[in-house]
Amino acid sequence: MTAFSAVNIRSLGLTEYSETFEEMKNFTKLRTSDTADEIWFAEHHPVFTQGIAGKNEHILAPGEIPIIHSDRGGQVTYHGPGQVMGYLLFDLRRKKVSVRELVFKIEQSIICTLRELAIDGERLVGSPGIYVDSKKIASLGLRVSRGCSYHGLSLNVKMDLEPFQRINPCGLTNIGVTQISELIASPVHQIEELLLKSIGDEFGFSSFHKLGSSHVSRF
């Protein structure tokens, strides 16, 4: 096993997006060249997040759902219970992965996860994310600081899709939204396990260290 071929896994459960966002920033700010990479899985209480390229015109009728401005790339999207969030806190320089490769590998991880469920996911030119029958099933939003990534992906599993009608998801006005439960029955925890294996394969992690506490340690 080569150095840093293991990755720490944290299952955060149902959290407030704002808290997880701050934890990611702190982790990335304080990490050193000796810090192991981590993958965090979470679900969030209902929230719209607006990326740094976001335009207010794409927020149509948010209602009671809060809007949080994030430092990830991209436009507005929705997060809620029943959607798997995968946060990838990787040292890209150490792994010798460019930002373009990072995006490709994350997308491929999602495609491979869906393939394990006999679902055909695909990329659409000019429309970031992964789609099934031209409907969006997964989104990406990333930030790189000091050569290290944070934020990551969201994959719709079994959630209330209505809030997506209150926005133009990712700034797209002509794209529908779907989820795994509309195609097959599969619990969230199974999706996390499949996604973890696919991410490990794409990024060359040979072992996973699952941390017992849902608390994100500060160092």
Asked if the model's pLDDT at residue 122 lies above 80, the reply is yes
Examine the pLDDT at 131 and tell me if it is beyond 90.
yes
CA 53/CA 42 separation, integer angstroms:
24
- 209 φ/ψ sector (left φ>0, alpha ψ -120 to 50, else beta): beta
Residue 185, pLDDT score? 85
- What pLDDT score was predicted for residue 188? 87
User: Residue 88: what pLDDT?
Assistant: 98
Cα 119 vs. chain centroid, distance in angstroms?
Answer: 19
Q: What pLDDT sits at residue 126?
A: 81
Instruction: Report how far apart, in Å, the C-alpha atoms of 92 and of each of 21, 73, 97, 99, 125 are.
Output: 19, 17, 5, 8, 25
Q: What is the mean pLDDT of residues 49-66?
A: 93
User: pLDDT digit string (tens) for 159-183?
Assistant: 999 999 999 888 878 789 999 999 9
User: Which pLDDT score, from 0 to 100, does residue 192 have?
Assistant: 95
Instruction: Supply the pLDDT for residue 217.
Output: 44
187: pLDDT strictly greater than 90 = no
Q: What is the mean pLDDT of residues 34-52?
A: 97
Q: Where are the alpha helices (DSSP H) in the chain?
A: 17-30, 92-95, 99-116, 188-203
pLDDT of 142 higher than 60: yes
**CB-based burial of residue 94 (10 Å sphere; 0-12 exposed, 13-18 middle, 19+ buried)?**
middle
In the chain, what are the domains?
A: 6-204 (3.30.930.10)
User: Across residues 38-57, what is the average pLDDT?
Assistant: 95
Q: Which residues are catalytic?
A: 170
Per-residue pLDDT, 11: 95
Q: What is the bridge-based pairing of β-strands 83-89 and 148-156?
A: antiparallel
Q: What is the pLDDT of residue 3?
A: 58
Nearest to 141 by CA among 131, 132, 128: 128
Mean residue pLDDT of the chain comes to 92
Mean pLDDT across 59-82: 96
**Contact by Cβ (8 Å): 192, 84:** yes
pLDDT band for 5, please (50, 70, 90 cuts). confident
Is the pLDDT at 98 greater than 50, yes or no? yes
Mean pLDDT of 196-210: 95
Q: How much of the chain exceeds pLDDT 70, in percent?
A: 95
Q: Does 125 have pLDDT greater than 50?
A: yes
Neighbours of 65 (CB within 10 A): 16
pTM of this prediction? Answer: 0.93
The conformational region for residue 204 under phi > 0 = left, psi -120 to 50 = alpha, else beta, is left
